[in-house]
A and B are shown apart, each in its own frame.
Chain A
Amino acid sequence: MTLFSFLQKRSSAPVARERLQILLAHERAIAGKSDLVAVLQEEILTVIAKHVTVEREKVQIKLDRGSPVSTLEIGIEMPTPVVVPN
């Protein structure tokens, strides 16, 4: 009986290990990238502010990681007429 159930039941630790390896590979990649988005947002804001007056929350940056390509989406809502800072 013991032997039979042993054959039937696959040990769960290898499954745990595999799931963790896949998950953490993904999460480690994201952890680095989310900082990248914040840095890009700040720098893009600075560049735009030099030429046009925009509100901070009107600059949206989105990074979509996909395979085979990832996309960086930058949405900037500008007031009309365009206000040029002095």
Chain B
Amino acid sequence: MAKVLVVTSGKGGVGKTTSTAAIGAALAQGGENVAVVDFDVGLRNLDLIMGAERRVVFDLINVIQGEAKLAQALIRDRRIDTLSLLPASQTRDKEALTAEGVARVMEELREKFDWVVCDSPAGIERGATLAMYHADVAVIVTNPEVSSVRDSDRIIGLLDSKTARAEKGERVEKHLLISRFDPARALRGEMLKTEDVLEILSIPLLGIIPESQEVLRASNLGSPITLSNPNSAPARAYFDAVKRLQGQTIAVTVPHERRGFMGKLFGRRVAVA
């Protein structure tokens, strides 16, 4: 039975697209058949993060409007053959994203894949509400920062009221993914603690992705971080998060970069200064 997962947040710039790529790739690396779908019509970026920007021919809107078949629009990843991308349209109007069209495409994706991972646009407009509408599972990406937590709270409210599951009296399984976490700043009391964010939003924790230069490097290369640097701290955090999504129980820790002797020495000095 296919699972539809939405990666959402309300606020922009918190790491939805990075997380969609990393979660989708990590699932596929584990042997699952995965489609990642970009819902950000007009501002697509998942193609760029996945390194498939030059291979886009047809997109989600073409499929919705019947101008292309789903199989023509899906882009198979060159590195993992169980991973496919359905890009958003960069030029079409957001209004072309119709509820009926999206329902049809999601139904077809459910038949073909084990996981359908939807990358929601920021905000709470049509793109975002349609991205979450068919979800069985939601990953709410939140930075430990006031505006991000507030927007996440709003999104949680929408997941509980404006989704197909909510309308049927069922629940969308919700998970919190804290991203851009800086353990040193949290320790100094300069950043909201994980416990604070969890208490305020009161949904279970899926993982903590540490702030890392490796994330920007992965975007530069056009490769999900779990592929470009699977041993990096953020990649390990994503692998663990995906195992939890699949039902495994693993204690949540904040992964840190593995440093050599000089790195450790340097790191300690920075912490003391």
Partner-B contacts on A (CB < 8 A): 11-14, 16-17, 19-21, 23-24, 27-28, 31
A20-B149, A28-B157 are contacts. A13–B200 as well, Cβ < 8 Å? no
Chain A residues contacting B188 (CB-CB under 8 Å) are 11
Interface of B is mostly: helix
Minimum C-beta distance from A6 to chain B (A): 9
Q: Which 10 A/B pairs are nearest by Cβ-Cβ distance?
A: A11-B189, A17-B196, A13-B189, A16-B146, A24-B153, A13-B192, A16-B192, A31-B157, A20-B200, A20-B149
Chain A residues contacting B196 (CB-CB under 8 Å) are 13, 16-17
6 A-B pairs besides A12-B190, A13-B186, A20-B192 with CB distance below 8 A are A11-B189, A13-B191, A13-B193, A17-B196, A21-B200, A24-B150
How many A-B pairs with Cβ below 8 Å? Answer: 39
Q: Is the CB of A20 within 8 A of B150?
A: yes
Minimum C-beta distance from A55 to chain B (A): 29
Instruction: Give complex CA distance A17, B154 in Å.
Output: 17
A17-B200, A20-B200 are contacts. A11–B190 as well, Cβ < 8 Å? yes
Give the interface size class of chain B. Answer: 10 to 19
19 A-B pairs within 8 Å (CB atoms) are namely A13-B186, A13-B189, A13-B191, A14-B189, A16-B145, A16-B192, A17-B192, A17-B196, A17-B200, A19-B146, A20-B146, A20-B192, A21-B200, A23-B150, A24-B150, A24-B153, A27-B154, A28-B157, A31-B154
Instruction: Give complex CA distance A24, B149 in Å.
Output: 9
Binary A-proximity of B172-193 (CB < 8 A = 1, otherwise 0): 0000000000000010111111
Q: Is the CB of B189 within 8 A of A24?
A: no
Q: Which of B149-164 contact A (CB under 8 A)?
A: 149-150, 153-154, 157
Among A19, A20, A24, which residue has the most Cβ atoms of chain B within 10 A? A20
Q: Which residue of A lies closest to B272 (CB)?
A: A2
Chain B residues contacting A27 (CB-CB under 8 Å) are 150, 153-154
Instruction: Give complex CA distance A13, B146 in Å.
Output: 9
Chain B residues contacting A12 (CB-CB under 8 Å) are 189-190
Instruction: Give complex CA distance A47, B189 in Å.
Output: 56
Q: Which residue of A lies closest to B196 (CB)?
A: A17
Minimum C-beta distance from A37 to chain B (A): 15
Minimum C-beta distance from B144 to chain A (A): 8
Q: Is the CB of B153 within 8 A of A28?
A: yes
Instruction: Give complex CA distance A59, B208 in Å.
Output: 50
A11-B188, A13-B191 are contacts. A24–B157 as well, Cβ < 8 Å? no
Chain B residues contacting A28 (CB-CB under 8 Å) are 153, 157
Minimum C-beta distance from B255 to chain A (A): 21
Minimum C-beta distance from A70 to chain B (A): 21
Minimum C-beta distance from B8 to chain A (A): 17
Minimum C-beta distance from B271 to chain A (A): 12
Minimum C-beta distance from B187 to chain A (A): 10
Q: Which residue of B lies closest to A10 (CB)?
A: B189
Instruction: Give complex CA distance A13, B185 in Å.
Output: 10
Minimum C-beta distance from A13 to chain B (A): 5
Chain B residues contacting A14 (CB-CB under 8 Å) are 189
Chain A residues contacting B149 (CB-CB under 8 Å) are 20
